[in-house]
Chain A
Amino acid sequence: MPKRLAIVLPLAALLLVLSSICAAAQEPGAGLKKAALALQWQPQAQFAGFYVARARGFYREAGVDLEILPGGPDIVASRLLTSGRAQFATMFLATGIERRAEGLALAHLAQLVQHSALMLITRAGSGIREPRDLDGRRVGLWDNEFGLQPRALFQRLGIRPTIIPQSGTLNLFLLGGVDAASAMWYNEYHLLLASGLDPDELTVFFYRDLGLNFPEDGIYTLDKTLAADPELCRAVVAASLRGWEYAFAHPDEALEIVLSEMRRAHLPTSRAHQRFMLARMRDVMLGRAADAPRTLGRLERADFDGVVEALDRQGLLRRRPAFADFARGPLQ
Chain B
Amino acid sequence: MSWLSEKRPQGLAFRLSALTLTAAGLVLALMSAATYFMAREALLKNAEESARTLAQALVMRIEARLAPISRVPQGVAYELEDGGLKGEAAILRRQRRVLADNEEIFGMAVAFEPDGTGEKQYAPYTFRSPLGPKATRLGGPAYRYHYMDWYQIPRELGRTTWSEPYFDEGGGGVLMATCSVPFFANAADGPLKRGQDRRVAGVVTADVSLEWLTRLVASVRVLDTGYASLISKNGTYLTHPAPGVAFNDTIFSRAEEHGDAALRKIGRDMLRGGERFVESRSLHTGKPGFLAYMPLPTTGWSLAVFSPRDELLADVHRQALVSGALGGGGFLLLAVLIALLARSITRPLRRLASAAREVAGGNLQAALPEPRARDEVSELAASFAHMQASLRDYIRDLTQATASRERMQSELRIAHDIQMGILPKLFPPLPDRGEIDLFASLTPAREVGGDFYDFFPVGRDQFCFLVGDVSGKGVPAAFYMAVAKTLLKSVAESAGGRGQRRGEDRSAERAAGGEALKTGEAGGGRSGPDPARILARVNDDLAKDNDSCMFVTIFCAVLDLNTGELRHASAGHNPPLMLRAGAAPEYLPAPGDPVAGAMTGVRYESGSLRLGPGDAILLYTDGVTEAMNPAQELYGEARLMELAAKSAGQDAKGLCDELAAGVHSFADGAEQSDDITLLALRYRGAERTTTD
Contact = CB atoms under 8 A, between A and B. Distances in A.
A158 interface: no
Contacts of A273: 253
B244 A174 contact: no
Contacts of A265: none
Given A195-B252, A195-B271, 5 more contacts: A1-B166, A2-B125, A7-B169, A172-B152, A271-B249
Contact of B156 (A3, A4, A7, A164): A164
Interface in B168-194: 168-171, 176, 178
B252 A2 contact: no
Contacts of A5: 142-143
A171 B153 contact: yes
Contacts of B252: 193-196
Contacts of B257: 270-272, 275
B511 interface: no
A74 B142 contact: yes
A171 B169 contact: no
Contact of A269 (B125, B138, B147, B244): B244
7 contacts: A1-B176, A1-B178, A8-B170, A164-B156, A268-B247, A268-B248, A272-B254
Contacts of A175: 153, 157, 161, 233
Closest 6 CB pairs of A and B: A4-B170, A195-B234, A177-B156, A272-B253, A272-B257, A194-B253
A29 interface: no
Interface in A17-76: 74
Given A1-B163, A194-B250, A273-B253, A171 B156 contact: no
A126 interface: no
A82 interface: no
Interface of B: 125, 138, 142-143, 145-150, 152-153, 156-157, 161, 163-164, 166, 168-171, 176, 178, 205, 207, 233-235, 244, 247-254, 256-257, 264, 267-268, 271
Contacts of A4: 168-171
B98 to A, nearest CB: 16
A13 to B, nearest CB: 15
A121 B207 CA distance: 31
A1 B257 CA distance: 29
Contacts of B205: 1
A240 to B, nearest CB: 28
A314 interface: no
Interface string A192-209: 011110100000000000
Contacts of A166: 147
Nearest to B163: A1
Contacts of B178: 1
A178 interface: yes
A127 interface: no
A239 B396 CA distance: 121
Nearest to A271: B257
A171 B149 CA distance: 7
Interface residues of A, number: 34
A169 interface: yes
Contacts of B250: 194-196, 270
A25 to B, nearest CB: 29
Contacts of B254: 272
B125 to A, nearest CB: 7
A155 interface: no
Interface string A156-194: 000000001111110110111110000000000000011
A273 B234 CA distance: 14
Contacts of A169: 149, 164
B234 A171 contact: yes
Contacts of A178: 156
A166 B149 CA distance: 9
B34 to A, nearest CB: 42
Contacts of B244: 269
B169 A3 contact: yes
A2 B138 contact: yes
A83 B211 CA distance: 41
Given A169-B164, A175-B161, A268-B248, A1 B253 contact: no
Contacts of B125: 2
B169 A174 contact: no
Given A1-B207, A2-B145, A272-B254, A196 B271 contact: yes
Which of B143, B148, B248 has most A Cβ within 10 Å?
B248
A272 B176 CA distance: 25
Contacts of A195: 234-235, 250, 252, 271
Nearest to B173: A266
Contacts of B171: 4
Nearest to A273: B253
A1 B174 CA distance: 11
Interface string A232-252: 000000000000000000000
Contacts of A165: 146-147, 152
Contacts of B169: 3-4, 7-8
A174 B251 CA distance: 16
A266 B542 CA distance: 148
Contact of B147 (A1, A8, A167, A171): A167
A1 B205 CA distance: 10
Contacts of B256: 193-194, 272
A6 B143 CA distance: 13
Contacts of B142: 5, 74
Given A3-B169, A172-B149, A196 B235 contact: yes
A273 B233 CA distance: 18
Given A1-B166, A169-B149, A175-B157, A270 B249 contact: yes
A242 to B, nearest CB: 29
Interface in A252-308: 268-273, 275
A153 B211 CA distance: 46
Nearest to B254: A272
